[in-house]
Structures are given as structure tokens and as C-alpha cells.
């Protein structure tokens, strides 16, 4: 029997935020609803995993790095949509809700369509349509074992 010491999965992504109430309001404007959470954190269910919002100073202290200056923008969170119209609608809603536009959705080199915005704390979100992947009705992805150009499609 083989045991994976580090299974290939993510169960929780926690974003450090400067103002938890502002962050909650932004995600609420996107239509996200938190689960019951302690007042110092907000958790959102996400098809088998969760997203958490937690104060920056509290997150640094929890990591054992109370004096650390935590940054944002060095990674991208992504949502895939079954078509370009879904990308455009989600992008417009994010901007109306207080996001900063980084890149308007457009056709991209790998054959898909994507754009980027930053939430009020600078966390970068990509909204994409990847014609080589299937977005299921529940929002989960089905990624084929081999795509037409496996090296070209980005890993949204």
C-alpha cells in the first residue's frame, strides 16, 4: 500500500486582509455567503474546500511571524467559466463591487479568454474560459488527461 505523505490537494486558502469588514462586504457584493465563523475570520465553502479571510497581523502571528510584513499579488486565484460571457459578467460584477481592474478579459495566447482584477486587499483573481476544460454545473472542473496543446494551457 502506497501512502502519499503530501497529497496533491488544497483544502483551505486563507487570504490576509487589512480590514475584515471591508473584505466581507466585497465578497458579499459578489454574492458569496460565509458559513458561521468566529468574528475574527470569515470562511466560505467552495466545492470540497474553503476560502478564509483573516486579518493580516493575526495571520502573521498565527504563522509564528508576528513581525512579518505579509504581501499580496504574488499568486493568482482563478475562477473558470463555461464561456466568455460568464467571464465578462463576473468581471463587471467584481469591478462594480470594488475590485481594481488589472487586465480586461481578452483572447489569450493559449487559446482561452481571461482577465484579472484585484480585490480591495490586492489579492489577484483571474477569470477565465478555457475551451480545453469542462466547467461542470457545480463549478468544478474536469480537466482531460491530455489536451490538444498540453503545454500551452495555463493552470487556472
Last-in-domain residue among 44, 71, 98: 71
- Predicted structure pTM score: 0.85
* Residue 120 and residue 64 in one domain: no
* Residue 105 and residue 30 in one domain: no
How does pLDDT run across 10-63, given as a tens digit for each residue?
999 999 999 999 999 999 999 999 999 999 999 999 988 999 999 999 999 999
Percent of the chain with pLDDT over 70: 91
* Residue 140 and residue 79 in one domain: yes
pLDDT greater than 50 at residue 78: yes
* Residue 28 and residue 88 in one domain: no
Sequence-ordered alpha helix ranges (H) in the chain? 20-29, 56-62, 84-96
* Residue 77 and residue 67 in one domain: no
* Domain that includes residue 4, residue range: 1-71
* Residue 22 and residue 37 in one domain: yes
Q: Which of 53, 51, 125 is nearest to 95 (CA)?
A: 125
Amino acid at each position: 500500500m502506497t501512502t502519499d505523505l503530501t497529497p496533491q490537494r488544497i483544502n483551505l486558502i486563507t487570504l490576509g486582509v487589512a480590514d475584515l469588514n471591508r473584505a466581507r462586504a466585497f465578497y458579499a457584493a459578489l454574492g458569496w455567503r460565509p458559513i458561521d465563523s468566529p468574528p475574527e475570520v470569515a470562511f466560505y465553502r467552495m466545492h470540497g474546500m474553503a476560502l478564509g479571510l483573516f486579518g493580516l497581523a493575526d495571520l502573521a502571528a498565527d504563522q509564528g511571524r508576528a513581525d512579518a510584513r505579509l504581501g499580496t499579488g504574488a499568486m493568482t486565484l482563478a475562477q473558470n467559466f463555461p464561456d466568455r460571457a460568464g467571464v465578462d459578467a463576473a468581471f463587471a460584477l467584481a469591478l462594480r463591487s470594488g475590485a481594481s481592474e488589472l487586465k480586461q478579459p481578452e483572447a489569450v495566447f493559449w487559446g482561452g479568454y481571461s482577465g484579472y482584477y484585484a480585490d480591495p486587499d490586492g489579492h489577484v483573481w483571474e477569470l477565465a474560459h478555457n475551451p480545453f476544460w469542462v466547467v461542470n454545473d457545480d463549478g468544478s472542473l474536469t480537466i482531460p488527461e491530455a489536451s490538444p496543446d498540453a503545454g500551452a494551457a495555463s493552470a487556472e
